[in-house]
Structure 1
Amino acid sequence: MYPLSKQENFVSNLDRVREVSPEVATAFRGLREAVDGYGSLDAKQRELCLLAGFAATRNEGGFRVHCTRAATAGATLADVEQVVFLMLGTSLGLAPVVEALHWAQDELG
């Protein structure tokens, strides 16, 4: 089982899908496991890449979950902050970067 957010009462998107269709949630989890097993990136690199995507789409739940997973894989708060700052001026403006930095500090600070 993967760790989730440090936030109390956190419900992941996958948990919400599971409430409606356990079969779809199980299939999605299987897909994610297959994707994680593909290629040469280690767990820390994969999680940092995912954080960039979650920041770019302003997906707070996914970002928080994967902050925790990134830390478990060896990423530091500074690593996550750098990933967020790399998005500044490429995919994100200042406000979403500040928002993602806040999420990272909540989870890892």
Structure 2
Amino acid sequence: MMNWLEYRKELLGRIGEIGKLSPDTLAGYQTLSGAGKKTGHLDAKTRELIALAVAVTTRCDGCITVHTGEALKHGATREEIAEALGVAVALNAGAALVYSARVMDAVGEHSAAA
């Protein structure tokens, strides 16, 4: 599918270029990214599992490669990763169901107005 390690290397290089052109943008991202570590309420592995589920729901390949490496580094197993991804799948299906209800609501309103 993709050479994830090479992609990660290239991506981080490009992000470094953006950081040189717009250092405050990168610094702001790094502040947001590191904020959860400061509270200590979740361990690093749990944060990375959440990040992987969010990466799937936001369709971010860069997030996938970065957070897969981090999740594994923090001891996440294939099984734990698969379970986190199951949550992402369920939420995507749930979101589609919720937005389907919104469409039907819009259909009702448009029909009543016609």
- Place the TM-score, normalised by the shorter chain, in its bin: 0.5 to 0.7
CA–CA separation in structure 2 for the residues paired with 1:50 and 1:69: 10
Alignment of 1:16-95 (within 5 A): 17-92=18-93
Q: Distance in 2 between matches of 1:91 and 1:60?
A: 17
Contact map agreement 1:56 1:91 (CA 8 A) in 2? yes
What RMSD, in angstroms, separates the aligned Cα atoms of the two structures? 2.4
Aligned length, in residue pairs: 89
Cross-structure match for 2:5: 6
Counterpart code for 1:10: E
**Structure with more of its chain in helix, by fraction:** 2
Give the Å deviation of 1:29: 0.9
Q: Which runs of 5+ in 1 are unaligned?
A: 94-109
Structure showing greater relative contact order (alpha-carbon pairs closer than 8 Å, 6 or more residues apart): 1
Normalized against structure 2, the TM-score is what?
A: 0.64
CA distance 1:17–1:38, shift in 2 (3 Å): farther
1:23 Cα shift?
2.4
Unaligned runs of 5+ in 2: 95-114
Q: In structure 2, what is the equivalent of residue 100 of structure 1?
A: none
Aligned letter for 2:81?
A: V
Share of identical aligned residues, percent? 27
Q: For the pair shown, which has the larger CA radius of gyration, 1 or 2?
A: 2
Where 2:75 maps in the other structure, the secondary structure is: coil
**Equivalent residues of 1:43, 1:73 under 8 A apart:** yes
